[in-house]
Amino acid sequence: MRRWVYSRILLATGVRARPIPGVDSDRVLTLRSLRDALQIRDRLAAVEKVVVLGGGFIGCEAASTAVSMGKRVTVIERSETLMQAALGPVLGGVLTDVHRAAGVQLVLHSVVQSVEDTGSMAVVHTDRGIIEADLVLVGAGTVPNVELALEAGLEVDGGVLTDEFSQTSVPDVFAAGDVASTFHPYYGTHLRVEHHDTAMHHGISAAKNMIGIDDTFSEVHWFWTDQYEHTLQQVGRARPDDELVVRGSLDELSFSAFSLRDGRIAKVISLNRPRTSSSPAGCSSPNTRRPQSC
Ligand SMILES: Cc1cc2nc3c(=O)[nH]c(=O)nc-3n(C[C@H](O)[C@H](O)[C@H](O)COP(=O)(O)OP(=O)(O)OC[C@H]3O[C@@H](n4cnc5c(N)ncnc54)[C@H](O)[C@@H]3O)c2cc1C
């Protein structure tokens, strides 16, 4: 083993796709790396029936791509709507209708119990019955790569814990990106965010602290997802009891939905209106209450 001596070190080990326990079949694939993506593309070309486990970001994007390639696609999701954790029930419902209209079979409010490879197909067992597939794509969340941190004795709680300066519980050891659960001064809690834009800015902030420039990581989180011809963007963080105010039209799939808390914008989700939520700066500006739809 080769050893490096360090003055300061950054852990940016990311996450890995969560597999379905007990399933070892080449009909069941996860998506994390470019290699995974190329493998899925090749396999999709040769199959007809595709089952997607999980209706989050990865599951929805995979489903939209597979449908666009002419495949028969079924998505199995535990919640009542797709992407409910990120979008909430109302906007999650809008996205669910988009997938339904595109021809995706949805098995919602359903839990996958196991996946069996019969030799000629995969059989997905759910609490609502079985579904057969030529290929199963798993988008069932991720597992943070915290093994190194644990071995090094760092505090870990669903991610490598850091303060707002990306400093872990051990001096001179920093963490950033998907693997880090970082104290956010604005929200007053530790957050672990799995988005590209956050990872990029978190890395920059951590690097500044590592070279002695104090830098608080207080980014307001922003992400996008492309599904079919639609682009959805979100900036900020909401609570279930926030007031939802919609500008534009949910039915016409062109809207910006503002989550308001105490008269301020806590979060914006926009569909096919890229300018509304393209700048995190918009999230912190004060806002007066508006009518429910304008
Ligand atoms: C299919 C897919 C689509 C996505 N789409 C979007 C999107 O549309 N919008 C968005 O905002 N975000 C998206 N993301 C999330 C985004 O890619 C991540 O938030 C971002 O890559 C996190 O960056 P990171 O550097 O923290 O981790 P990673 O990019 O995961 O990099 C971590 C690296 O560390 C390496 N590593 C791990 N352990 C070790 C070790 N012990 N020794 C050496 N190396 C190690 C890993 O191999 C990996 O290369 C997507 C992710 C996936 C998988």
> Which of 41, 60, 196, 225 to mutate for ligand 1's pocket (most ligand atoms within 8 Å of CB)?
196
Nearest residue to 99 (alpha-carbon basis) of 128, 66, 122, 130: 66
Answer whether 194 contacts ligand 1 (Cβ < 6 A). yes
Question: 123-130 contacts: CB < 8 A, separation 24 or more?
Answer: 124/51, 124/53, 124/76, 126/76
pLDDT tier at 245, thresholds 50, 70, 90: very high
- Domain membership of residue 200 (yes or no) is no
- Domain membership of residue 219 (yes or no) is no
Answer whether 32 contacts ligand 1 (Cβ < 6 A). yes
Residues forming a β-bridge with 123: 116, 132
Q: What is the pLDDT of residues 210-240, one digit of tens each?
A: 999 999 999 898 999 999 999 999 999 988 8
What's the pLDDT score for residue 274?
74
Domain boundary among 140, 166, 200: 140
- Length of the chain in residues, anyone? 294
Domain boundary among 108, 140, 172: 140
Per-residue pLDDT averaged across 234-260, rounded? 94
Nearest residue to 99 (alpha-carbon basis) of 254, 238, 253, 209: 253
Answer whether 9 contacts ligand 1 (Cβ < 6 A). no
Number of structural domains found in the chain: 2
Distance 246 CA to ligand 1 centre (A): 33
- Domain membership of residue 41 (yes or no) is yes
Residues forming a β-bridge with 59: none
Is the confidence at residue 277, as pLDDT, over 70?
no
Is the confidence at residue 282, as pLDDT, over 50?
no
Report the CATH number that the domain containing residue 102 is assigned in CATH.
3.50.50.60
- Domain membership of residue 166 (yes or no) is no
Residues 243 and 134 in one domain: no
- Domain membership of residue 205 (yes or no) is no
Distance 76 CA to ligand 1 centre (A): 24
Nearest residue to 31 (alpha-carbon basis) of 16, 43, 20, 14: 16
- Domain membership of residue 34 (yes or no) is yes
Residue nearest ligand 1's atom 33 by CA: 13
**Residue span of the structural domain in which 274 resides:** 238-294
Alpha carbon separation from 278 to 46, 57, 266, 270 (Å, rounded): 38, 18, 15, 9
- Residue 143's φ and ψ, nearest 5 degrees, are -125, 120
- Domain membership of residue 133 (yes or no) is yes
Measure the CA–CA gap between 12 and 32, rounded to whole angstroms. Answer: 16
- Domain membership of residue 174 (yes or no) is no
Kindly tell me the sign of the dihedral angle through the C-alpha atoms of 258, 232, 92, 144. negative
pLDDT tier at 19, thresholds 50, 70, 90: confident
Distance 32 CA to ligand 1 centre (A): 8
Is the confidence at residue 279, as pLDDT, over 50?
no
Domain boundary among 121, 140, 159: 140
Q: What is the pLDDT of residues 143-152, one digit of tens each?
A: 999 999 999 9
